[in-house]
Amino acid sequence: MPEKTNAPRGIDPRGPRFVAGVTAALLLIDVYLGLTGLSTAYGYGTFGWFAGQRTVGDGAWLLPQATVAQRILDPAFLLLFVIAVLFLWGVLSPRTAPWAILFRKAVAPRLAAPAELEDPRPPRFAQGVGLFVATLGLVLQLFGVPWALTIAAAMAFVAAFLNAAFGLCLGCQLYLVLQRLGVLGRARPASA
């Protein structure tokens, strides 16, 4: 009778790279929206500045003057919220996440079988790191911190792009470091 192991099944390493590519594209759009929207707007705007008050150098960041509803309805906020939900989905149920299903149903059948499988825990942890960064940007936007949402989206974009383009998963590397330090999971025994 074969011995049962608690080791998780392996996943096709091209799946997380595909997901990272789609995520990177969405985050790049979000960075653009953040750079051109309320998150980084500076000037006189329509948030309480009156023509009689304007003098040279009177401009201000518009985000702190905006209402919470205006901050939420900013297109960059809405898109980053959707991306955060997708990150959460990737953490809670990676097999049912939309991009994972798209990879399995449309992309993987057209590819040769992977040479080797990878542990699913580091990519799942990387999704959690992406969720943390996106959520931090969203919360800071709600509190009226200029540039926070755009910077968070840019940081997540860099990580997703590195994974998609070069196979360098920063969240996976962080997982492995934390695992070696004994903070996460149990390190696998070294092979003899």
146-158 pLDDT, tens digit per residue, is: 999 999 999 999 9
H/E stretch holding 150 reads helix 148-166
- Where are the chain's structural domains? 14-44+58-111+118-180
Residue 7 has pLDDT above 60, yes or no: no
Query: Looking at per-residue confidence, does 31 or 46 come out higher?
Result: 31
Q: Is the pLDDT of residue 185 over 60?
A: yes
Backbone angles phi, psi at 118, to 5 degrees: -120, 160
**Percentage with pLDDT > 90 across the chain:** 66
Give the model's pLDDT for residue 134. 98
The pLDDT of residue 52 is 43
What are the residue ranges of helices labelled H in 10-144? Answer: 14-36, 68-72, 75-92, 98-102, 121-142
Distance CA 126, CA 178 (A): 12
Q: How far are the Cα atoms of 65, 67, 179, 191 from residue 134, in angstroms, in the given order?
A: 22, 21, 23, 37
**pLDDT in the model for residue 50:** 41
3-state secondary structure of 30: helix
Residue 47 has pLDDT above 50, yes or no: no
List the Cα angle 153/144/134 in 5-degree steps.
25
More confident residue, 79 or 51: 79
Higher confidence at residue 143 or residue 50? 143
Highest mean pLDDT: which of 4-8, 91-95, 140-144, 183-187? 140-144
Residues 52-103 have pLDDT tens digits of: 444 445 678 889 989 999 999 999 999 999 999 999 999 999 889 999 899 9
Geometric angle at alpha carbon 152, from 12 and 57, rounded to 5°: 160
pLDDT band per the 50, 70, 90 thresholds, residue 188: low
The region of weakest confidence among 6-10, 128-132, 183-187 is 6-10
Q: Which residues of 49-62 are buried (b: 16+ CB within 10 A; e: fewer)?
A: beeeeeeeeeebbb
Mean of per-residue pLDDT scores for the chain: 86
Distance CA 42, CA 22 (A): 31
pTM of the model: 0.82
Structure tokens at 176: 């492995």
Q: Is the per-residue pLDDT at 132 higher than 80?
A: yes
pLDDT band for position 32 (50/70/90)?
very high
